[in-house]
Amino acid sequence: AQTVTQSQPEMSVQEAETVTLSCTYDTSENNYYLFWYKQPPSRQMILVIRQEAYKQQNATENRFSVNFQKAAKSFSLKISDSQLGDTAMYFCAFSLYQGGKLIFGQGTELSVKP
Amino acid sequence: DVKVTQSSRYLVKRTGEKVFLECVQDMDHENMFWYRQDPGLGLRLIYFSYDVKMKEKGDIPEGYSVSREKKERFSLILESASTNQTSMYLCASWGVNQPQHFGDGTRLSIL
């Protein structure tokens, strides 16, 4: 069975600085999908970034980038130039198939301080 | 833009009641999911459906059932609500070449 672990329940960062959220996962499969979702206080889950395991290149979306280490089964999220609107709960998630069920980590609550 | 609508944002029910949580998506997606979100546990899958009238158990199906009579609607049913089912419930749908889209969640309290 696949598992996802986020070992940082809470983190804080000063506005404009960079922060990295950690995620590790466990699977015996070779191909799969990894995601970072953001859940602000409004509760709407928003996809931040997606990585397909067969792609070597790390995914990037504007200020958000990942460090995907397949051998180490690590998938960390880096947020550059943090903004107050980045304050949210961040979830790392795993899926074996496109459109398949998501397996989530426990979440990391990020606070961006002015 | 994909819209996943959950019928209630907040709901308060009593133990033993039969509770229905409704979810509707407007993009003709095949796959729909119900998750439960609890602090420190993340989101856990209750049930999912790949097509009309088809359903599969997720990781925590006990005490729940689902109904998918039409493609756009996926209902979660608490047959006899208990206090340990107090939680946030999130519905999601998925279509080809898209990530899962989530509703705004229903915060359910069982008294």
Mean pLDDT score of chain A? 95
8 Å CB contact between A21 and A8: yes
The CA distance from A94 to A1, in Å, is 11
Split at pLDDT 50, 70, 90, the class of B97 is confident
Q: Which of B23, B46, B54, B100 to mutate to test the interface with A (most CBs of A within 10 A)?
A: B100
Question: What residues of A are in contact with residue B42 (Cβ under 8 Å)?
Answer: 4, 6, 91, 104-107
Query: Which residue would you say has higher pLDDT here, A106 or A41?
Result: A106
- Collapse the DSSP code of B76 into the 3-class scheme (helix H, G, I; strand E, B; otherwise coil) and give the result: strand
**Nearest CB to B43 within list A44, A50, A104:** A104
Residues A13, A70, A51, B38, CA torsion sign: negative
Number of domains making up chain A: 1
Split at pLDDT 50, 70, 90, the class of B2 is low
Which range has the worst mean pLDDT, A12-16, A22-26, A91-95, B96-100? B96-100
Cβ distance A106 to B30 less than 8 Å, yes or no, reads no
- CATH at A47: 2.60.40.10
Assign domain B4-110 to its CATH architecture.
Answer: Sandwich (2.60)
CB-facing half-sphere around the CA of B79: CA atoms within 13 A: 7
Count the helix, strand and coil residues of chain B and give each as a percent rounded to the nearest 5: 5, 55, 45
8 Å CB contact between B35 and B42: no
> Quick one: pLDDT at residue A78?
98
Tens digits of residue pLDDT in A6-39: 999 999 999 999 999 999 999 999 999 999 999 9
- Tell which residue, B22, B43, B39, has the closest CA to residue B100: B43
Domain of residue A26, residue span = 3-113
